[in-house]
A = this chain, B = another copy of it.
Amino acid sequence: MTDGERLLDAVLRLTTALQRDMETGLAAVGLTPARAHLVGVLVTSGPQPQQALARQLEVTPRNVTGLVDALERDGFVTREPQPTDRRASIVTLTARGREVADGLVAGRRELGGQLARVLPAGRVAALADDVAALADEVERLAGGAR
């Protein structure tokens, strides 16, 4: 097995483990990955109409409707009417939604710290750069085929 394949294997394993880890954490606060993603966008970009959310999440507007339905049902967000355009409604985090979102950010920070502690301090930054380079390449590969 070449080093490249070993690398790919390791990345795939990390991917799986990370995904599992995040999903269980999300489930603990009552969120699914897709809904958490939407909450994340609300945190970083503020209250928005569903169209804008659909663009940022790269899914269809119809799908956003369903995600917001669930988040609204569970009390994480509300749909506020937009006075300037009665077609659109603004999706806004509730207090509880903001709480949970803050928890997610904290969890992410903590996980970053735990990962950094696995390796010698000096190597973490370089590793981040290398992994970023890999990500760039893969994005390039996928984009080039577009």
Contacts and interface: CB of A to CB of B under 8 A. Distances in A.
Interface in A35-82: none
Contacts of A34: none
**Interface size bucket, A side?**
35 or more
Please state the number of chain copies in the assembly: 2
Nearest to A23: B142
A17 B118 contact: no
A83 interface: no
A127 B5 contact: no
A13 B135 contact: yes
A24 B142 contact: yes
Q: Which 8 A-B pairs have the closest CB atoms?
A: A4-B116, A4-B112, A5-B112, A14-B135, A10-B131, A17-B138, A7-B128, A10-B132
B131 A3 contact: no
A96 interface: no
Contacts of A84: none
B11 A18 contact: yes
A7 to B, nearest CB: 4
